[in-house]
Structure 1
Amino acid sequence: MVAQQPSRREDFEIAIVCALRLEYDAVSYIFDEYWDDDGDKYGRAEGDFNSYTTGRIGKYNVVLALLSHMGKANAASAAASIRSSYGGLQLALLVGICGGVPRPGCDEDEILLGDVVISKAVVQYDFGRQYPDKFVRKDTVEDNLSKPNKDVRNLLVTFETDRGRDRLRERTAYFLQELQANAASRQRRSKYRYPGTAEDRLFEPNYRHKHHVMPTCICRECYGKFDPVCDEALNSSCDDLGCDDKQIVVRERLETRRQLEQGGNEVQEPTIHVGPVASGDTVIKSGEDRDMLARRESVIAFEMEGAGIWEEVPCIVVKGVCDYADCHKSKKWQNFAAATAASASKAILERYIQTDKIPSAGAGAARCNMVNEHQARGKVQSSTDPYQVNT
């Protein structure tokens, strides 16, 4: 059933939150209709400073919010404001990009760039105590983030079945092609193009991103994890620095994809990974620290807003893998990863079961009495309901 344009903010059941403009741009291409093309019709609650985009995705009315800044605190504040303005929300999707753990565990698939990570839990890995010799995360029952609610848990468990994951992957691939076509119709054909297997490079965790060819800077003294590199190296590409391809990790799944690509086959379809996601205010740019944290916390990806939203609204983190959270990360995959995450979020909503709403008879009667009273006085020009669409 296709959603009709709602008359009140309370009729919106789904929120999508993005932290970056490029994430917002990708999500904007999965909307089937917009309700605010002629201007905002719904307003917002007092004290809510978020800006919203409203529309329809499939059978759901959706409100889309773009954060002003990255990070947990800003995400938590924005999520609380969304909840105050849109009291009927059932689910929030945090959609965007993340750093992936290349091989999360022996039983997990290899994670490649462009794959999609879906959270079954969020770990606030940077919340703890720093001792002289080590950092200890607070992990008591009171300190850990809560489990998803039953509605979200029951949805996620279906995505961990073979049938559920296959269906989600197939629909994500379909919506990705749809997104790319929509972008192409607006003269942005290349923006969400698959970068290609040659651009998916994973270096050994301890291989540093520095000047390798006859360095004349401090890079020449960089041999260990804690040795500094020059500022220029921090902002340069692997090609510019001469990073050695012999240090690239060979991965079976990528090799299979490369062979298919060389045969002229389509290989952009992302794999869906469901698992715990690490969330913190620090951007991880170290392969060794990535692997250490992944082992310690059993996480499959790193991002920066999930911990802020998780406790405010029922939430699923949906992130496309744009880098490997190491010092060799670049921005080449960001737009494509944002597109795969946006496409997966639409596929998730397709499987999210709508709950019947029981109208409040008391509230309806009270509203009718109020309108009849004003009509009797001849004073009604338009609705005085702050949630009502202005006509």
Structure 2
Amino acid sequence: MRASLISKTLSHDDYKIGWICALPLEMAAAQALLDEIHEDLPVQPNDYNAYTLGAIGKHNIVIACLPSGDCGSTFTTVSMHLMSSFRSIQFGLVVGIGGGVPREKEDIRRGDIVVSKPTGTHGGVIQYNFGKALSGGGFQRTGMLNRPPQIFLTALSKLQTHHLMGRKLFLDFLSEMEQLSSFTRPRRSDQLYLSGYDHVGSKSTNCDACDAINTVVRPPRDCQDPVVHYGTIVFVNQANDSWLRDRLGSELDAYCVESGEAGFMNNFPCVIIRGIGDYADSHKTTDWQGYAAAAAAAYAKELLLASVTHVEQTQPVPKPLPGSEAATMAQVKEPLQITVSPEAIAAPAPAASFTYDELSGVYLGTIRGSEIIPRLIRNPDHWRNEIGALIAQLVEIHPEWWIERTEEAARVMNEFFARCRLTYRVNVYPRLSERPIYHGSNREYLSILFDHNLGWQTKSDPNIGLNIGILNIWSMLEFLDRQSL
């Protein structure tokens, strides 16, 4: 379509954004929207992803697709290989086809777009397996996934404003894509069947044999343009059960259901965009897949164009350590050898002026210590704005919090976090005065933390600190240079 082949070869470090797809059709939709297509680059020996390199606006993009026919591959595997071959990736998009959850108010239909949106209790994406069934039939989450990158959250707000004012660039991109037969809107009507009514004909690719009396009567829309919905996307093992779909909608407020696992979000900062191709039931046909993939890709392109001013200020994604949860979840047949040497991290910061017994820790429930600590140490600027904004709010409600580093100050701060639905947790712990003997896969980071005067003592094992994500906000700010905030 519009993309032009650029004969020059860029370097791996020139690519900052990863775009992950599960299907070749989704990859084709992404490639059709590139403004430029670049020459291929060599990748790591164990990297079996299919790649297309190109650009959208000022962004250099790596489009990655799961290996065709490899049922063992997951988004986690693909994202790990992507970040291994292209080490300057800053954040990503996961774009493709999903199953819509019928909702009375939002009226989600085939061809619509669902974008993951954080709430006060989660980051916009829920892994159904990260929880447990309750005796009364309910569902309780027992794990958490990271929020999308702030750059995308800002761009999402910008796009929502533009769309409310009638400026929808993605419709122009989608209209252009519909010139290709693979992405044309189907003429076949969009039918939603009653929950519990199974598809007739197990091998049929359409619903011609299904009884129309079992369809849900819905008023026609005045306009056939896709509607963008912002809400929760839930990952499950199989997205073809209307009973489970409805349960996820009522209990987890799901807008979209996706097959697979979502643990990759804890190591690959991204936003998930889904074009609705079916209703996550047994009536899965291929009629709407091309149009749904095109709609999601068109929205993703507009999102990237809206976030252009902030990309160069963002640092690459920290690579997971061997033995981390991400590596375990990925189940890579040949594990990646990703290591971080102490020499690659800046020299120790000056000692903080606070007394050991006055310091407090912050529990970051959505970010693992093994991810946040290298980013903190290697790139302090990345955290200045976020922590500065947090301090500005704290000073308004408790002006003396800098001085009163006590249990009372911790209580006030925790109440503030609770009101704001934040996942920070403050405790009072003394600073470590002697280097402990660290163990486990995180020992390298823990030792470096101590060198930077950022160590702390928990009430049990000092190694717990990194594993559960406790950081010391006062020593963090000393490291970040308090005067610059």
TM-score (ref. length: structure 1): 0.69
Aligned counterparts of 1:6 and 1:151: Cα–Cα separation in 2: 28
- Residue in structure 2 matched with residue 98 of structure 1 by the alignment: 98
Structure 1 residue 354 corresponds to structure 2 residue 309: yes
Q: Cα distance 1:117–1:72, how it changes in 2: closer, same or farther (>3 A)?
A: farther
Deviation at 1:324, TM superposition (A): 0.8
- Residue in structure 2 matched with residue 203 of structure 1 by the alignment: 193
- Residue in structure 1 matched with residue 282 of structure 2 by the alignment: 327
Structure 1 residue 276 corresponds to structure 2 residue 232: yes
- Residue in structure 2 matched with residue 311 of structure 1 by the alignment: 266
- Residue in structure 2 matched with residue 171 of structure 1 by the alignment: 169
Structure 1 unaligned residues grouped into runs of 5+: 184-189, 211-232, 261-266, 359-391
Structure 1 residue 21 corresponds to structure 2 residue 24: yes
Aligned counterparts of 1:342 and 1:26: Cα–Cα separation in 2: 6
Q: Name the amino acid aligned to 1:139.
A: R
Q: Which of 90, 107, 112 lines up with 1:110 in the alignment?
A: 107
Aligned counterparts of 1:117 and 1:10: Cα–Cα separation in 2: 31
Structure 1 residue 67 corresponds to structure 2 residue 66: yes
Q: Deviations over 1:241-271 (max 9, x none)?
A: 3x2223221223xx134xx6xxxxxx3x211
- Does the aligned pair in 1 maintain the 2:178–2:185 contact within 8 Å? no
- Residue in structure 2 matched with residue 53 of structure 1 by the alignment: 52
Deviation at 1:354, TM superposition (A): 3.0
- Does the aligned pair in 2 maintain the 1:72–1:308 contact within 8 Å? no
Higher relative contact order (CA 8 A, sep 6+): 1
Aligned counterparts of 1:82 and 1:136: Cα–Cα separation in 2: 37
The SS at the match of 1:349 is helix
Q: Which of 184, 188, 195 lines up with 1:193 in the alignment?
A: 184
- Residue in structure 2 matched with residue 289 of structure 1 by the alignment: 244
Q: Which of 221, 226, 232 lines up with 1:256 in the alignment?
A: 221
Aligned counterparts of 2:48 and 2:256: Cα–Cα separation in 1: 30
Q: Cα distance 1:53–1:356, how it changes in 2: closer, same or farther (>3 A)?
A: closer
- Does the aligned pair in 1 maintain the 2:128–2:236 contact within 8 Å? yes
Structure 2 unaligned residues grouped into runs of 5+: 1-5, 118-123, 314-485
TM-score (ref. length: structure 2): 0.57
Question: Alignment identity in percent?
Answer: 31
Q: Cα distance 1:357–1:327, how it changes in 2: closer, same or farther (>3 A)?
A: closer
Q: Cα distance 1:70–1:344, how it changes in 2: closer, same or farther (>3 A)?
A: farther
Q: Deviations over 1:140-183 (max 9, x none)?
A: 3xx21122233233333334x4x2334697211100122233x3
- Does the aligned pair in 1 maintain the 2:115–2:231 contact within 8 Å? yes
Aligned counterparts of 2:90 and 2:137: Cα–Cα separation in 1: 37
- Residue in structure 1 matched with residue 212 of structure 2 by the alignment: 245
Deviation at 1:32, TM superposition (A): 1.3
Q: Name the amino acid aligned to 2:89.
A: L
Aligned counterparts of 2:144 and 2:83: Cα–Cα separation in 1: 22
Deviation at 1:306, TM superposition (A): 6.3
The SS at the match of 1:256 is coil
Aligned counterparts of 1:250 and 1:191: Cα–Cα separation in 2: 29
Q: Name the amino acid aligned to 2:87.
A: G
Q: Deviations over 1:163-219 (max 9, x none)?
A: 2334697211100122233x3xxxxxx3221113x5200111132334xxxxxxxxx
Q: Deviations over 1:123-144 (max 9, x none)?
A: 001334468x78775623xx21
Q: Name the amino acid aligned to 1:191.
A: S
The SS at the match of 1:292 is helix
- Does the aligned pair in 1 maintain the 2:158–2:306 contact within 8 Å? no
The alignment's C-alpha RMSD in Å is 2.9
- Equivalenced residue count is 302
Q: Name the amino acid aligned to 1:99.
A: G
Deviation at 1:356, TM superposition (A): 6.7
Q: Cα distance 1:170–1:74, how it changes in 2: closer, same or farther (>3 A)?
A: same
Q: Which of 182, 204, 223 lines up with 1:236 in the alignment?
A: 204
Q: Which of 29, 33, 36 lines up with 2:36 in the alignment?
A: 33
Deviation at 1:237, TM superposition (A): 5.5
- Residue in structure 1 matched with residue 445 of structure 2 by the alignment: none
Q: Cα distance 1:146–1:72, how it changes in 2: closer, same or farther (>3 A)?
A: farther
The SS at the match of 2:254 is coil
- Does the aligned pair in 2 maintain the 1:71–1:305 contact within 8 Å? no
1:78-227 paired onto structure 2 within 5 Å? 78-103=78-103, 106=105, 109-120=106-117, 121-129=124-132, 139-140=141-142, 143-159=143-159, 161=160, 163-166=161-164, 170-181=168-179, 183=180, 190-196=181-187, 198-210=188-200
- Residue in structure 2 matched with residue 230 of structure 1 by the alignment: none
The SS at the match of 2:53 is strand
Q: Name the amino acid aligned to 1:35.
A: H
Q: Cα distance 1:235–1:49, how it changes in 2: closer, same or farther (>3 A)?
A: closer
Deviation at 1:308, TM superposition (A): 3.8
- Does the aligned pair in 1 maintain the 2:207–2:283 contact within 8 Å? no
1:367-378 paired onto structure 2 within 5 Å? none
